[in-house]
């Protein structure tokens, strides 16, 4: 029997993985997670508990049903749309106080609202479409809005019911079914062919559009195409792929120099290659294949945002029947490696988003979402989910350490954690993957990991000491703080789970080191 005590370090990295067996993952991706809920892979290293959200305004948006549209204009203002008592789509704006009514779309049955910014004359404006009515034009500085109609000058009646909008080469491009309508240059409302407007047939129903690297990328249900050229005279459509499309345009975002979107087989990246005009198509969610498949199957309505300061892409599934606490999302963090290989994943539980939007301006980022309760919420603004607990869970795969057939005796775990305030976590260990459904292996009890001493005192950074059982910890210093825990037990493989259920401040899981003794191989 071996007698030498040695250490097994675990660096928290790799993110959520669901395309490996637990033992395979534990041997080849140490530090990755089988559950990574409400933890974000941190660009500085480790897993950080996500920040929460709070109400942008304490006032509910007047009306009923889902907030149909949301546009973050700047760090100080949002524009939102919701059905009024007459079932018309009513638009509002707020700077954080009560919502002010702007205008009403006078037709019923308006759907989810999309938008695009433009400034052709020195005035910031936004064009809104809802899939049922004519486009609406919002003047930001004056907080006014007007709608096109069948009687508008140079109107194309096909503009009624356009579903998506993008501004490209000083034209407005609208999609409706499998057609693209574009306006005369420097307008969003002139559809006269004599003035430079026109129509293009894409061949399949358009799901979304985005301007990317001087090209208009058009996503359909089955294909992706690009529009190149500068004017009506030389606009032309070219295929990027005829093999796969985008299932929901609200998932399309520019992200880390690529375009990311939800395809039928998962989250994909559209990346410009070194060859001029070429694009690569990578499945970014291969490592979370099981989670991504379940996510796609869970809903038909999606929304997404980017968190630029963290190189993150967040995508949310909206299921009306689910409570806020049960609502699901996925989160990608992009690291230095290129393409899909540089992305680590995590899951989000507790954010119910029918619409979402973000804006980065003057070094400040505003990320918002809304749903059927009529409030707009601002992400990354507090330590809880609008005052409710955030349930953050990290669960490791089953790690064999060296040999999955040899037994080890674990003596102590030492966790290196970077707290930002009071912290109260729980550490659970599960021994032996092949004994999960058996009572033959004695599992250790829950181990508290806290800034509190365990005897009533509280220790923060710089405090003298904290006692965990028989162990004493000294705080202070530049490195992550050390939290030891007695873990006496015997196993061939083990998994650990770290849980936080609170509105306490964020913290980062940096490294874990387990002290063990190798026993004889059985």
282-336 per-position pLDDT tens digit:
899 999 999 999 999 999 999 999 999 999 999 999 999 999 989 999 999 999 7
C-alpha distance from residue 494 to each of 436, 469, 489 (Å): 11, 22, 10
Q: Which residues contact 357 (CB under 8 A, 6 or more apart)?
A: 70, 71, 72, 78, 305, 367, 368, 369
Q: Are 94 and 55 in contact (CB under 8 A)?
A: no
Query: What is the pLDDT, as a whole number, of residue 506?
Result: 95
Q: Are 419 and 8 in contact (CB under 8 A)?
A: no
Helix (H, G, I), strand (E, B) or coil at 310: helix
pLDDT band at 201, cuts 50/70/90?
very high
Helix (H, G, I), strand (E, B) or coil at 519: strand
- Does position 89 have pLDDT exceeding 90, yes or no? yes
Q: Which residues contact 276 (CB under 8 A, 6 or more apart)?
A: none
Secondary-structure breakdown of the chain: helix, strand, coil percentages, each rounded to the nearest 5: 10, 50, 40
Intrachain domains 5-49+393-521 and 113-245 with the same fold: no
- Does position 239 have pLDDT exceeding 70, yes or no? yes
Strand partners, 67: 82
Q: Are 376 and 71 in contact (CB under 8 A)?
A: no
**Percent of the chain's residues with pLDDT above 90:** 74
Closest CA to 110 of 92, 137, 95, 129: 129
Tokens found for residue 147: 């709608």
Query: What is the pLDDT, as a whole number, of residue 480?
Result: 77
Q: Give mean pLDDT, residues 54-74.
A: 96
DSSP label at residue 187:
B
Q: Are 38 and 348 in contact (CB under 8 A)?
A: yes
- Does position 78 have pLDDT exceeding 50, yes or no? yes
CB count in 10 Å sphere of residue 141 = 8
Query: What is the pLDDT, as a whole number, of residue 457?
Result: 28
Q: Give the chain's largest Cα–Cα span.
A: 90
Start-to-end Cα distance in the chain: 11
pLDDT band at 49, cuts 50/70/90?
very high
d(C-alpha 364, C-alpha 1), whole Å: 60
Query: What is the pLDDT, as a whole number, of residue 363?
Result: 77
Give the torsion through C-alpha atoms of 101, 107, 113, 116, to 10 deg.
-80
Closest CA to 253 of 331, 187, 146, 177: 331
d(C-alpha 386, C-alpha 368), whole Å: 13
Average pLDDT, the chain: 89
Tokens found for residue 326: 């049960």
Q: Give mean pLDDT, residues 417-430.
A: 92
- Stretch (H or E) spanning 501: strand 494-502
d(C-alpha 103, C-alpha 134), whole Å: 14
d(C-alpha 379, C-alpha 11), whole Å: 28
d(C-alpha 48, C-alpha 33), whole Å: 13
pTM for this predicted structure? 0.91
Closest CA to 37 of 393, 275, 361, 276: 393
d(C-alpha 303, C-alpha 315), whole Å: 6
3-state secondary structure 326-347: HCEEEEEEECCCCHHHHEEEEE
Pick from 29-38, 44-53, 462-471, 476-485: least confident: 462-471
d(C-alpha 32, C-alpha 175), whole Å: 42
- Residue ranges of the domains in the chain? 5-49+393-521, 113-245
Q: Give tens-digit pLDDT for 456-483.
A: 223 333 333 443 443 444 333 345 788 8
pLDDT band at 406, cuts 50/70/90?
confident
d(C-alpha 208, C-alpha 220), whole Å: 7
User: Tokens 């006269």 identify what position?
Assistant: 192
CB count in 10 Å sphere of residue 502 = 17
- Determine the CATH number of domain 113-245: 2.130.10.10
Closest CA to 117 of 131, 137, 101: 137
Q: Are 362 and 75 in contact (CB under 8 A)?
A: yes
Closest CA to 282 of 263, 305, 300: 263
- Long-range contact pairs involving 228-233 (C-beta distance under 8 Å, separation at least 24): 229/169, 230/169, 231/169, 231/185, 231/196, 232/182, 232/193, 232/196, 232/197, 232/198
Q: Which CATH architecture has domain 5-49+393-521?
A: Sandwich (2.60)
What is the Cα 224 distance to its own chain's centre? 23
- Stretch (H or E) spanning 296: helix 289-297
Q: Are 93 and 74 in contact (CB under 8 A)?
A: no
């Amino acid at each position: 029997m071996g007698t030498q005590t040695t250490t097994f370090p675990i660096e928290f990295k790799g993110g959520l993985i669901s395309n490996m067996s637990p033992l395979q993952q534990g041997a080849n991706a140490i530090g990755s997670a089988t559950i990574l809920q409400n933890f974000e892979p941190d660009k500085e290293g480790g897993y950080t508990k996500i920040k929460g959200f709070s109400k942008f305004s304490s006032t509910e948006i007047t009306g009923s049903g889902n907030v149909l549209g949301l546009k973050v204009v700047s760090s100080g203002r949002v524009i939102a749309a919701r059905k009024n008592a007459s079932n018309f789509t009513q638009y509002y704006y707020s700077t954080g106080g009560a919502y002010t009514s702007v205008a009403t779309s006078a037709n019923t049955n308006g759907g989810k609202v999309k938008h695009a910014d433009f400034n052709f004359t020195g005035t910031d404006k936004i064009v809104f479409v809802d899939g049922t009515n004519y486009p609406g034009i919002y003047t930001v500085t004056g907080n006014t809005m007007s709608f096109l109609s069948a009687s508008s000058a140079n109107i194309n009646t096909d503009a009624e019911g356009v579903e998506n909008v993008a501004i490209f080469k000083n034209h407005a491009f609208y999609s409706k079914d499998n057609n693209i309508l574009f306006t005369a240059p420097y307008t969003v409302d002139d559809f006269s062919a004599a003035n430079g407007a026109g129509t293009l047939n894409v061949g399949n129903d358009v799901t979304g559009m985005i301007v990317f690297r001087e090209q208009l990328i058009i996503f359909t249900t089955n294909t992706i195409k690009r529009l190149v050229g500068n004017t009506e005279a030389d606009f032309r459509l070219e295929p990027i792929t005829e093999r796969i499309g985008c299932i929901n345009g609200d998932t399309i975002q520019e992200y880390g120099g690529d375009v990311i979107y939800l395809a039928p087989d998962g989250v994909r990246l559209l990346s410009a290659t070194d060859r001029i005009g070429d694009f690569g198509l990578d499945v970014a969610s291969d490592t979370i294949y099981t989670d991504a498949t379940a996510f796609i199957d869970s809903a038909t309505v999606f929304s997404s945002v980017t968190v630029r300061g963290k190189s993150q892409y967040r995508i949310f599934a909206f299921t009306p029947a689910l409570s806020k606490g049960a609502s699901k999302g996925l989160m990608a963090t992009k690291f230095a490696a290129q393409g899909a290989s540089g992305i680590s994943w995590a899951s989000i539980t507790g954010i119910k988003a029918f619409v979402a939007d973000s804006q980065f301006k003057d070094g400040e980022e505003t990320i918002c979402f809304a749903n059927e309760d009529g409030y707009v919420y601002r992400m990354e603004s507090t330590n809880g989910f609008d005052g409710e607990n955030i349930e953050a869970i990290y669960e490791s795969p089953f790690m064999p350490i060296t040999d999955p057939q040899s037994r080890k005796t674990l003596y102590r775990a030492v966790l290196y954690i970077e707290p930002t305030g009071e912290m109260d976590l729980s550490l659970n260990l599960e021994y032996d993957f092949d004994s999960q459904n058996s009572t033959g292996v004695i599992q250790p009890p829950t181990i508290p990991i806290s800034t509190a001493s365990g005897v009533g005192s509280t220790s923060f950074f710089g405090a003298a000491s904290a006692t965990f059982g028989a162990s004493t910890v000294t705080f202070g210093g530049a490195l992550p703080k050390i939290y030891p825990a007695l873990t006496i037990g015997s196993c061939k493989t083990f998994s650990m789970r770290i849980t936080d259920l609170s509105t306490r401040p964020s913290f980062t899981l940096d490294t874990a080191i387990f002290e063990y003794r190798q026993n004889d191989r059985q």
